[in-house]
Amino acid sequence: MTTEDNTPNNKKEEYEIDTLTNKRLLSNHEYDGIRELDNDLPPWWKWLFILCIVFAIFYMVRLWVFRSDDLIQKKEFDNEMANVKTVKPTETFEMVLLTDNVSLEAGKETWLKICAVCHLADGGGLVGPNMTDNYWIHGNTVENMFATITNGVIEKGMIPYKDQLSPKQRIEVISYIQEVLVGSTPAVPKEPQGELVE
């Protein structure tokens, strides 16, 4: 049964056979009388292991020799930064009137919620001037109106909105005034104030 022969060219002789299963036992591997069978690794495990090694070699060659992947951190980082740069300009605003429905609706909402108290919902004017005529105290260009709404005319009762409204919201409400209110006919129009502007 036991042939404890340690010469390398006689390897087969190192194994003992388990009497229950008739399988090979590991030699020199006994604890408290418990022996371990010398089973092979399951084939699926062995193949998975080999595939992992093969994959790793291809992966490393692709990444470090051909540098053909975004996985290189520097490249990944550069791509991210490029995206940031292309996103930024949409956050800035231009001093032009907006004519799309979404912006005009947003402008209307601001107008009714904040401005209508003094200028009336239909723009006819109350404490503040009429917004439907072509008479303007502080000018009617987008820049003029933006300045008026941003800084207010505190001594006359026009509130500064630079903290309360974002630049975009200010442009939206200016667009609503110019595109919808100017030229409309309010119920009770306040008399013209300021200069006639064409």
Binding site for ligand HEC (CB under 6 A): 110, 114-115, 117-119, 127-129, 136-138, 145, 148-149, 153, 156-159, 161, 173, 193-194
- Quick one: 17 or 112, whose CB is closer to ligand HEC? 112
Smallest gap from Cβ 80 to ligand HEC, in A, equals: 38
Task: Give the side-chain half-sphere CA count within 13 A for 56.
Answer: 6
C-beta of 128 vs 186, nearer to ligand HEC: 128
- Min dist CB 93 to ligand HEC, Å, is 16
* In the complex, minimum distance from the CB of residue 112 to ligand HEC, in angstroms, rounded to a whole number: 10
Looking up tokens 């404890």 gives 4
Q: Which is nearer to ligand HEC, 98 or 158 (CB)?
A: 158
CA 162 – CA 151 distance, rounded (Å): 7
Planar angle of CA 129, 131, 135, nearest 5 degrees? 75
* Phi and psi angles of residue 195, each rounded to the nearest 5 degrees, phi first: -95, 150
For ligand HEC, which is the closer residue by CB, 98 or 115?
A: 115
Cβ 91 to ligand HEC shortest distance, Å: 21
Select 26 or 153, whichever has its Cβ closest to ligand HEC.
153
Residue 32 φ/ψ, nearest 5 degrees: 45, 35
- 50-79 in b/e burial notation, b at 16+ Cβ within 10 A? eeeeeeeeeeeeeeeeeeeeeeeeeeeeee
Which tokens sit at 63? Answer: 């990444």
Q: Residue 193 and residue 134: Cα distance in Å, rounded?
A: 9
Q: How far is the CB of 162 from ligand HEC (least distance, A)?
A: 11
Least distance (Å) from ligand HEC to the CB of residue 90? 24
**Whose structure tokens read 């791509």?**
79
Interatomic CA distance for residues 149 and 165, integer angstroms: 9
Geometric angle at alpha carbon 114, from 108 and 116, rounded to 5°: 70
- 69 versus 105: smaller Cβ distance to ligand HEC: 105
